């Protein structure tokens, strides 16, 4: 049987390996024709997809994140399903796993795979081949006017399915230029995350479980990328790469000789507990920047988010520690907590100013809080009038498209004035400190922008930054909040 694996285009061409598909493909039994189609790197992706799915028994697997990928995927699968009655369409990934009902109810989609997909896919391929039911452990299907949700499957360590099968794609296409290096590739080396932050969709899928690949497996993947594909930089896309100090230390020591610069996502409180030795080893091995969820400058908001006891003081301490070790911290904020949104935003923006004053090299990413259906804050979001759309078409309409980008206008507790304050501040911030990750902004423009925004930044004059917005348009300089995960 032909199995087509499709990665719809993200908001901007994201030239990174389609790891969701590469990983899940390890579950497909041998003997099938596998065809990968990636909307991020193939200009003719849609034509190729049409040709591959046109006739005969075909299983189309689609990975979908909220936002642009959903917008790209839905019209396509409707079209393809209309043409070929023998086509089976299965969706997996974060959006379908968090919102299975609305996806399974869509007539063009035959089944949703929930969470980690390898084992489910093995059984599902057999069911499609024999014409059996797609209702099984790990799937959700729409049957008799209701959602039929299978039991969950036990999670497995990802590397137990084998190494990432890079050979399925044209690796030359994915060697990307980034601030880390001229040939950047990405890896994913753990399943889930051991924390319960109640605004994060990872908890919906993995409920606080974290299964790391052993350090040797991680080191082997980095070596393969460096030795066989010429990588000089690696981004670890794990939800929480730095959850276990011992593994970080072993990986750092094991990859030091590969001469790659690297980046990953971590927790402030965990990494504050790392020894100076581990920080040194990581810096030596090429660690350049770490993404942290600072989330808020208000301790009460942090407690409401269930950030595991994280305090604002920890964020300040981490900023100093990372600076000391020559590793750039990248702090992400999730602004507009429902408890006291005004105070949350005010204190967070004050914290950003302080972080920049103490370490101008740190990066800041400002998102708006966009609830996910999880106990903790969701009940209150609903009480305050928050409702998700009833069908997939609803998700494609504004304001939901902005919601997916974490620029939402759908949270009723954030007033338009408060939203404007955040966006004005952000415009001034991004001009005063253009992100280091923007390779297209030369030193002259960088200096010009910074000096143009200097007085505004200094005196906190954020209102109507029209001149900066105009430049942002003309120079199209990079806004971290658009590019982030
Ligand atoms: C790389 C990445 C991106 C890339 C795009 C990737 C791409 N596919 O083109 C970029 C940077 C563009 C991006 C953008 C955004 N992202 Co993003 N992204 C990620 C990240 C870091 C890694 C994804 C990945 O490769 N994972 C590795 C694979 C192996 O894991 P996986 O996807 O979970 O796959 C497993 C299962 O889910 C399942 N599975 C997945 N797909 C499928 C498909 C089928 C058919 C089957 C059977 C199974 C299956 O099996 C896989 C193996 O077990 C994740 C976080 C994470 N660590 O996963 C966030 C994440 C998915 N992104 C997220 C978000 C919110 C966004 C944005 C909306 C944010 C924004 N700034 O606007 C945008 C919009 C994206 C869009 N739609 O265009 C959220 C999703 C949350 C949610 N509510 O659903 C995540 C979880 C981050 C987070 N913690 O909040 N992102």
Structure letter (DSSP) for residue 104 = H
The encoded tokens of residue 297 equal: 């400058």
pLDDT at position 41 is: 94
Residue 358 backbone phi and psi in degrees, to 5: -85, -25
396 CB within 6 A, ligand 1: no
Residue burial 101-110, b: 16+ Cβ < 10 Å; e: rest: bbbbbbebbb
pLDDT at position 483 is: 52
pLDDT at position 410 is: 66
Ligand 1 centroid distance, CA of 415 (Å): 29
pLDDT along the chain (485 residues), means of 10: 96 86 97 97 95 97 92 95 96 96 97 98 97 97 96 97 98 96 98 93 92 98 98 98 98 98 97 98 98 97 93 98 98 90 96 98 92 80 84 86 63 88 95 90 91 96 94 74 54
65 CB within 6 A, ligand 1: yes
pLDDT at position 375 is: 80
Query: For residue 96, what are the contacts with CB-CB under 8 A and spacing of at least 6?
Result: 64, 103, 112, 113, 114, 140
94 CB within 6 A, ligand 1: yes
63 CB within 6 A, ligand 1: yes
Domain 2-149 annotated CATH 3.40.50.2300: yes
* Helix and strand numbers, DSSP H then E, in the chain: 21, 15
Atom 28 (ligand 1): residue with closest C-alpha? 20
End-to-end, the C-alpha distance of the chain in Å comes to 34
Rounded (10°) CA dihedral 264, 265, 267, 271: 0
Residue 194: name the closest of 179, 177, 180, 212 by CA: 212
Residue ranges of domains in the chain:
2-149, 188-414
Ligand 1 centroid distance, CA of 444 (Å): 35
Contact 141, 110 (CB under 8 A): yes
pLDDT at position 404 is: 55
Ligand 1 centroid distance, CA of 471 (Å): 31
Atom of ligand 1 nearest to the CA of 484: 71
Atom 39 (ligand 1): residue with closest C-alpha? 93
100 CB within 6 A, ligand 1: no
pLDDT at position 405 is: 58
Mutation probe of ligand 1 site: the residue of 3, 20, 480 with most atoms within 8 A of C-beta: 20
pLDDT at position 408 is: 63
pLDDT at position 411 is: 77
pLDDT at position 429 is: 97
Domain 188-414 annotated CATH 3.90.1300.10: no
104 CB within 6 A, ligand 1: no
pLDDT at position 13 is: 66
Atom 59 (ligand 1): residue with closest C-alpha? 485
Residue 2 backbone phi and psi in degrees, to 5: -85, 130
485 CB within 6 A, ligand 1: yes
Cα(286)–Cα(283) distance, rounded to whole angstroms? 5
Is beta strand 261-266 parallel, antiparallel or unpaired with respect to 287-295? parallel
Atom 91 (ligand 1): residue with closest C-alpha? 485
Largest Cα–Cα distance of the chain, in whole Å?
69
Structure letter (DSSP) for residue 179 = S
187 CB within 6 A, ligand 1: no
Residue 24 backbone phi and psi in degrees, to 5: -65, -25
335 CB within 6 A, ligand 1: no
SS3 category, 201:
helix
Atom of ligand 1 nearest to the CA of 65: 77
pLDDT at position 81 is: 96
Residue 340: name the closest of 310, 307, 304, 364 by CA: 304
110 CB within 6 A, ligand 1: no
pLDDT at position 419 is: 92
Cα(404)–Cα(370) distance, rounded to whole angstroms? 8
Contact 431, 472 (CB under 8 A): yes
pLDDT at position 338 is: 81
Residue 481: name the closest of 441, 429, 421 by CA: 429
The encoded tokens of residue 234 equal: 């690696």
117 CB within 6 A, ligand 1: yes
- Hey, how many other C-beta atoms are within 10 angstroms of the C-beta on 407? 18
99 CB within 6 A, ligand 1: no
Cα(274)–Cα(245) distance, rounded to whole angstroms? 6
pLDDT at position 22 is: 98
pLDDT at position 466 is: 94
68 CB within 6 A, ligand 1: yes
Q: How far is CA 304 from the centre of its chain?
A: 22
Q: To 10 degrees, what angle do helices 245-255 and 215-229 make?
A: 30
8 CB within 6 A, ligand 1: no
Ligand 1 centroid distance, CA of 65 (Å): 5
């Amino acid at each position: 049987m032909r199995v087509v694996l499709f990665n719809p285009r993200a908001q901007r061409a994201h030239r990174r390996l389609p790891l969701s598909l590469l990983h899940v493909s390890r579950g497909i039994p041998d003997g099938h024709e596998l065809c990968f189609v990636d909307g991020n790197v193939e200009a003719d992706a849609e034509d190729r997809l049409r040709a591959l799915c046109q006739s005969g028994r075909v299983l189309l697997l689609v990975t979908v994140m909220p936002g642009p990928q959903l917008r790209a995927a839905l019209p396509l699968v409707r079209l393809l399903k209309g043409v070929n009655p023998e086509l089976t369409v299965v969706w997996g990934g974060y959006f379908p796993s968090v919102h299975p009902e609305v996806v399974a109810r869509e007539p063009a989609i035959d089944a949703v795979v929930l969470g980690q997909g390898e084992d489910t896919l093995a059984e599902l391929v057999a069911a499609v081949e024999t014409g059996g039911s797609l209702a099984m452990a790990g799937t959700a299907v729409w049957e008799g006017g209701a959602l039929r949700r299978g039991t969950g499957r036990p999670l497995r360590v990802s590397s137990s399915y084998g190494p990432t099968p890079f050979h399925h794609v044209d690796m030359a296409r994915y060697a990307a230029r980034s601030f880390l290096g001229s040939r950047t590739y990405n890896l994913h080396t753990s399943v889930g995350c051991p924390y319960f932050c109640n605004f994060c969709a990872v908890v919906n899928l993995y409920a606080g479980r974290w299964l790391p690949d052993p350090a040797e497996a991680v080191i082997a993947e980095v070596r393969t990328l460096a030795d066989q594909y010429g990588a000089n930089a690696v981004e670890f896309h794990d939800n929480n790469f730095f959850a276990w100090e011992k593994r970080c230390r072993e990986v750092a020591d094991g990859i030091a000789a590969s001469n790659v610069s690297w980046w990953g996502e971590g927790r402030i409180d965990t990494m504050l507990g790392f020894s100076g030795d581990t920080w040194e080893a990581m810096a030596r091995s090429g660690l350049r920047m770490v993404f942290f969820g600072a989330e808020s400058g208000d301790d009460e908001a942090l407690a409401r988010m269930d950030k595991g006891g994280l305090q604002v003081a920890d964020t300040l301490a981490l900023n100093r520690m990372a600076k000391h070790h020559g590793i750039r911290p990248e702090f992400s904020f999730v602004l507009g907590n429902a408890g006291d949104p005004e105070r949350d935003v005010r204190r967070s923006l004050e914290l950003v100013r302080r972080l920049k004053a103490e370490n101008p090299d740190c990066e800041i990413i400002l998102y708006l809080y966009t609830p996910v259906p999880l106990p903790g804050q969701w009940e209150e979001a609903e009480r305050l009038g928050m409702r998700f759309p009833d069908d997939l078409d609803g998700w494609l309409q504004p304001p939901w498209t902005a919601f997916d980008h974490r620029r939402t206008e759908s949270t009723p507790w954030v007033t338009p004035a408060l939203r404007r304050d955040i966006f004005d501040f952000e415009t001034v911030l991004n001009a005063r400190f253009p992100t280091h990750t923007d390779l297209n902004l030369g030193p002259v423009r960088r200096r010009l922008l910074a000096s143009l925004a200097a007085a505004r930044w200094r005196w906190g004059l954020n209102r109507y930054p029209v001149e900066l917005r105009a430049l942002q348009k003309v120079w199209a300089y990079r806004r971290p909040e658009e590019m982030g995960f």
